[in-house]
C-alpha cells in the first residue's frame, strides 16, 4: 500500500470512528490487504447524481461516515442557498441492506443543521419521494438507493426543490461543498431530533390520488377489470404502492409473484434486481405462463424502472425492451388525449437522445412537439421547468426502462407506469386485440425500428485513456461511411456542434455539454457513443429501421434478419467486436 492509502487508514484507526470499523480494518490488514487498499485508495466520489458504491468500511465505500459527510456538505449548501428561511427536505429509502440506517443518518445530520426533515417511516419508491418534495414544498430531498445495482451496492441520490435530481449549477456546487468536508469531526451528527417528522400514509394517499388522475380510460378498465395481471417487485419497494394503485385503478385480477414479494436487500432470487434482465423476470414469466395472464410487469428495488412482458399472436411470451415500452406508452398518451378531447395545442413529449427516433415520428405525425435531452431524467425535469409557463408536458421516457407520465413529479416512475401499461393492455383487450398487435400496427405505420446496445470495458490502468483516444478519433477523424452507408451527420454533444459531413454545414446543439457522439447514416441508422464518466466503460447504442407493409411481413423472419444483419455489420465495420 502506498503512503496516501496508509494515511487514510491511519485517520480511521485513530479518529472518531466506531470500534466495529476499527476492528474491520484490523481484520482486513491481516486477511485481505488488497481489499483494504481498494477501500481506502480514494474518496468515494460525490458525482452529479450523488453517491453510489459498494458498502463497507473505508473512504471508497458507502458507509455511515461517507453518507454523513456527504449530507453535511449538502446541508451546508442548502443553508447557504436559503439563508434565514425554513428549509424543508424529504428523505426516503429502498429495500437495500443498510438503507434505513443511511436514511436515518441523513435525517439526523440534516436536522442537526437546522433543516426541517420529513422522513418516510419505512421504505418507499423513489418516485414517491420526488412527488412528496413538490407536495410538501421542500427545498430538497434524498433517497438512499442504488437502484438496480447488485446487492453489495448502495447509494444516495440528491434532489432539488422541483423534485428533480440536481442539475447545474446546483450539482457542481453541492459537489464542492461535499468535497470541503475533510473529516467526520465536521459533521453535525445529532442534536436536531425535534426537526424530524415521520411521514407515511398521508403521503401515500396524495401520491396515489395523483396517479389515479393519470388514467385516461377508466370506463375501459370497468369493462376489463379482470385483466389478468402478474406483478413482481423483485424484492423492492414497489410492493408498497403498486398493488394499491392497481386496485385504485379498478383492476381486480392482480397476482403478485410471492417468491419476490418480500422486500429483501439480499435479492435472494436474482443476480441483478433489474427488470431489464430476463433472469430477474424469469420467475414472474413462469407464473404468467401458468396463469395464462394478459401481462407481466416487474419493477426494480426503488421502483423507478419497469419491465413488461406480453404475448405475441402465437401466445408466446415476449419481454419488451425499453424502447418498445416507451413507444407504446408515448403513443397511447398522445392518441388517448386526442381521442378524449383533452389534448392541448401546446402538449409536448420528451425523450433522451439515445432513445428510439420512432417516438419523434409518432409525435410529428400527431402534431405534438418532441424534445430530445441528454441521458437522465434530471434533464427531462429541467426541460419541464423551463417550459412549464408556456407548454404542457404529457410524457417522457428513456430506453433504459424509464417512464414519467404527467408533471406532478420529476423523476422516472415505475408505479404510475405499471398502472398505465395495464390500462393500455385493457384498452387493446377491449378491442379484442393485444398490446403486441398494437406495437406491430405502429411498426407498419411508422417503420420498424430495432435498437441494440453494447457496453465495452477497457480493463487496466490505461482503460480510461484508451476510451478517450477512441472518442478523440471519432471526433476528429469521423468515418465517412459505416457498413456501406454514408455518414450524413456527426453530432458532437461535448463541443455542442452538429455537422453535415457531406455539405460541411454546421449548427449549434442547444443542450449542456456531454461527452456523446452520434453518427446519422443516409439509410436512417443512428449510432451513439457514450463513455462512462466514472468507469473505463463505453456504451454504443445502435438504431436501425426499415419499412414494413403489413403485420404479415413482421411475422416472417426476413425483416428481423435484415435488421439484425445491419446492426452486426455496423458493429463489425466499427471494429467493436
Marked catalytic residue, from 95, 99, 130, 147: 147
- The reply to whether 436 and 498 lie within a common domain is no
**What residue numbers bound the domain in which 249 lies?**
226-446
Say how far apart CA 81 and CA 66 lie, in whole Å.
23
Query: How many residues are recorded in the chain?
Result: 577
| DSSP E strand boundaries for 276-328 | 295-299, 306-311, 317-319
Q: Tens-of-pLDDT digits for all 577 residues of the chain?
A: 788 899 999 999 999 999 999 999 999 999 999 999 999 999 998 888 899 999 999 999 999 999 999 999 999 999 999 998 899 999 999 999 999 999 999 999 999 999 999 999 999 999 999 999 999 999 999 999 999 999 999 999 999 999 999 999 999 999 999 999 999 999 999 999 999 999 999 999 999 999 999 999 999 999 999 999 999 999 999 999 999 999 999 999 999 999 999 999 999 999 999 999 999 999 999 999 999 999 999 999 999 999 999 999 999 999 999 999 999 999 999 999 999 999 999 999 999 999 999 999 999 999 999 999 999 999 999 999 999 999 999 999 999 999 999 999 999 999 999 999 999 999 999 999 999 999 999 999 999 999 999 999 987 668 888 999 999 999 999 999 999 999 999 999 999 999 999 999 999 999 999 999 999 999 999 999 999 876 788 999 999 999 999 999 998 889 999 999 999 999 999 999 7
Domain boundary among 446, 462, 478: 446
Evaluate whether residue 315 is within a structural domain.
yes
Say how far apart CA 527 and CA 305 lie, in whole Å.
24
The cell numbers describing 223, all together, are 369493462
- The reply to whether 530 and 543 lie within a common domain is yes
- The reply to whether 376 and 500 lie within a common domain is no
Q: Strand order in 88-93's β-sheet?
A: 50-54, 153-160, 140-144, 88-93, 116-120, 196-199
- The reply to whether 471 and 413 lie within a common domain is no
- The reply to whether 495 and 557 lie within a common domain is yes
* 278 flagged as catalytic: no
CA dist list (Å): 65 to 37, 42, 110, 188, 190: 18, 14, 14, 11, 13
Paired strand residues for 92: 143
Evaluate whether residue 561 is within a structural domain.
yes
Rg (CA), the chain: 24
Evaluate whether residue 555 is within a structural domain.
yes
- Direct distance between the N- and C-terminal alpha carbons of the chain, in angstroms, rounded to an integer: 36
Domain boundary among 205, 234, 259: 205
Grouping H, G, I as helix, E, B as strand and the rest as coil, residue 166 is coil
Evaluate whether residue 550 is within a structural domain.
yes
Q: What is the model's pTM? A: 0.96
Q: Looking at residue 494, which CATH number applies to its domain?
A: 3.30.310
The cell numbers describing 165, all together, are 435530481
Q: Looking at residue 275, which CATH number applies to its domain?
A: 3.40.120.10
Evaluate whether residue 5 is within a structural domain.
no
Do 384 and 375 contact (CB within 8 A), yes or no? no
Determine whether 183 is exposed, middle or buried from the number of CB atoms within 10 Å of its CB (0-12, 13-18, 19+). Answer: exposed
Evaluate whether residue 328 is within a structural domain.
yes
- The reply to whether 488 and 373 lie within a common domain is no
Do 515 and 555 contact (CB within 8 A), yes or no? no
- The reply to whether 420 and 532 lie within a common domain is no
- The reply to whether 400 and 535 lie within a common domain is no
Say how far apart CA 380 and CA 368 lie, in whole Å.
16
CA torsion, ordered 372, 211, 324, 448, to nearest 10 deg: -70
Say how far apart CA 541 and CA 66 lie, in whole Å.
34
CA torsion, ordered 296, 300, 305, 306, to nearest 10 deg: 0
Evaluate whether residue 4 is within a structural domain.
no
User: Long-range contacts for 265-272 (Cβ within 8 Å, ≥24 apart)?
Assistant: 265/95, 265/96, 265/97, 265/98, 265/99, 265/151, 265/235, 266/97, 266/151, 266/235, 267/150, 267/151, 267/234, 267/235, 267/301, 268/235, 269/235, 270/234, 270/235, 271/150, 272/148, 272/149, 272/150
Domain boundary among 205, 236, 261: 205
Say how far apart CA 548 and CA 468 lie, in whole Å.
39
- Provide the domain count of the chain: 3
Say how far apart CA 330 and CA 471 lie, in whole Å.
32
- The reply to whether 298 and 393 lie within a common domain is yes
Say how far apart CA 542 and CA 27 lie, in whole Å.
47
- The reply to whether 59 and 69 lie within a common domain is yes
Do 563 and 518 contact (CB within 8 A), yes or no? no
CA dist list (Å): 288 to 135, 291, 319, 417: 36, 5, 12, 19
- The reply to whether 305 and 269 lie within a common domain is yes
If you ran DSSP here, which 8-state letter would residue 260 be given?
G
- The reply to whether 470 and 570 lie within a common domain is yes
Evaluate whether residue 90 is within a structural domain.
yes
Determine whether 372 is exposed, middle or buried from the number of CB atoms within 10 Å of its CB (0-12, 13-18, 19+). Answer: middle
| DSSP E strand boundaries for 320-444 | 347-352, 369-373, 392-398, 402-405
Count of alpha carbons within 13 angstroms of residue 487, beta-carbon side: 23
The residue whose grid cell reads 386496485 is: 247
| DSSP E strand boundaries for 178-263 | 196-199, 229-232, 254-256
Q: 357: Cβ–Cβ under 8 A, 6 or more apart, which residues? A: 449, 526, 543, 545
Amino acid at each position: 500500500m502506498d503512503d496516501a492509502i496508509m494515511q487514510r487508514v491511519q485517520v480511521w484507526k485513530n479518529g472518531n470512528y466506531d470500534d466495529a470499523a476499527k476492528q474491520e480494518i484490523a481484520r482486513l490488514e491481516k486477511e485481505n490487504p488488497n481489499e483494504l487498499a481498494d477501500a481506502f485508495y480514494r474518496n468515494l466520489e460525490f458525482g452529479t447524481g450523488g453517491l453510489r458504491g459498494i458498502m463497507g468500511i473505508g473512504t471508497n465505500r458507502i458507509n455511515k461516515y461517507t453518507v454523513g459527510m456527504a449530507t453535511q456538505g449538502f446541508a451546508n449548501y442548502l443553508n447557504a442557498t436559503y439563508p434565514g428561511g425554513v428549509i424543508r427536505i424529504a428523505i426516503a429509502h429502498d429495500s437495500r441492506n443498510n438503507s434505513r440506517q443511511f436514511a436515518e443518518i441523513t435525517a439526523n445530520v440534516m436536522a442537526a443543521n437546522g433543516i426541517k426533515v420529513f422522513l418516510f417511516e419505512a421504505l418507499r419508491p423513489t418516485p414517491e419521494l420526488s412527488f412528496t418534495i413538490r407536495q410538501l414544498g421542500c427545498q430538497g430531498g434524498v433517497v438512499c438507493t442504488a437502484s438496480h445495482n447488485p446487492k453489495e451496492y448502495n447509494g444516495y441520490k440528491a434532489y432539488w426543490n422541483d423534485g428533480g435530481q440536481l442539475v447545474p449549477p446546483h450539482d457542481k456546487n453541492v459537489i464542492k461543498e461535499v468535497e470541503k468536508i475533510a473529516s467526520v469531526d465536521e459533521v453535525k451528527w445529532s442534536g436536531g431530533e425535534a426537526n424530524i417528522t415521520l411521514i407515511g400514509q398521508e403521503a401515500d394517499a396524495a401520491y396515489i390520488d395523483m396517479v389515479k388522475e393519470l388514467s385516461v380510460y377508466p370506463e375501459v378498465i370497468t369493462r376489463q377489470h379482470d385483466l389478468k395481471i402478474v406483478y413482481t417487485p423483485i424484492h423492492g419497494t414497489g410492493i408498497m404502492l403498486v398493488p394499491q394503485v392497481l386496485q385504485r385503478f379498478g383492476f381486480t385480477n392482480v397476482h403478485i409473484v410471492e417468491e419476490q414479494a418480500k422486500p429483501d436487500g439480499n435479492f435472494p432470487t436474482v443476480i441483478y434486481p433489474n427488470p431489464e434482465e430476463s433472469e430477474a423476470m424469469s420467475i414472474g414469466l413462469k407464473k404468467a405462463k401458468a396463469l395464462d395472464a394478459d401481462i407481466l410487469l416487474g419493477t426494480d428495488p426503488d421502483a423507478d424502472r419497469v419491465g413488461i412482458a406480453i404475448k405475441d399472436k402465437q401466445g408466446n411470451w415476449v419481454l419488451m425492451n425499453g424502447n418498445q415500452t416507451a413507444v407504446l406508452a408515448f403513443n397511447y398518451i398522445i392518441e388517448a388525449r386526442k381521442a378524449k378531447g383533452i389534448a392541448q395545442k401546446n402538449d409536448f413529449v420528451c425523450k433522451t437522445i439515445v432513445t428510439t427516433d420512432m417516438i419523434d415520428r409518432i409525435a410529428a405525425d400527431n402534431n405534438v412537439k418532441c424534445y430530445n435531452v441528454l441521458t437522465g431524467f434530471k434533464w427531462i425535469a429541467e426541460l419541464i421547468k423551463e417550459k412549464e409557463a408556456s407548454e404542457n408536458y404529457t410524457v417522457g421516457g428513456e430506453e433504459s426502462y424509464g417512464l414519467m407520465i404527467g408533471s406532478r413529479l420529476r423523476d422516472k416512475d415505475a408505479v404510475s407506469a405499471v398502472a398505465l401499461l395495464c390500462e393500455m393492455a385493457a384498452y387493446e383487450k377491449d378491442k379484442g386485440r393485444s398490446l403486441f398487435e398494437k406495437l406491430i400496427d405502429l411498426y407498419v405505420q411508422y417503420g420498424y425500428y430495432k435498437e441494440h446496445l453494447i457496453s465495452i470495458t477497457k480493463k487496466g490502468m490505461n482503460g480510461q485513456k484508451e476510451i478517450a483516444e477512441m472518442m478523440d478519433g471519432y471526433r476528429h477523424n469521423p468515418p465517412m461511411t459505416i457498413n456501406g452507408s454514408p455518414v450524413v451527420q456527426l453530432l458532437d454533444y461535448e463541443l455542442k456542434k452538429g455537422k453535415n459531413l457531406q455539405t460541411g454545414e454546421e449548427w449549434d446543439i442547444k443542450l449542456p455539454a456531454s461527452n456523446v457522439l452520434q453518427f446519422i447514416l443516409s439509410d436512417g441508422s443512428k449510432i451513439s457513443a457514450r463513455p462512462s464518466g466514472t468507469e473505463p466503460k463505453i456504451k454504443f447504442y445502435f438504431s436501425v429501421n426499415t419499412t414494413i407493409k403489413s403485420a404479415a411481413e413482421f411475422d416472417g423472419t426476413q425483416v428481423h434478419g435484415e435488421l439484425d444483419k445491419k446492426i452486426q455489420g455496423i458493429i463489425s465495420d466499427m471494429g467493436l467486436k
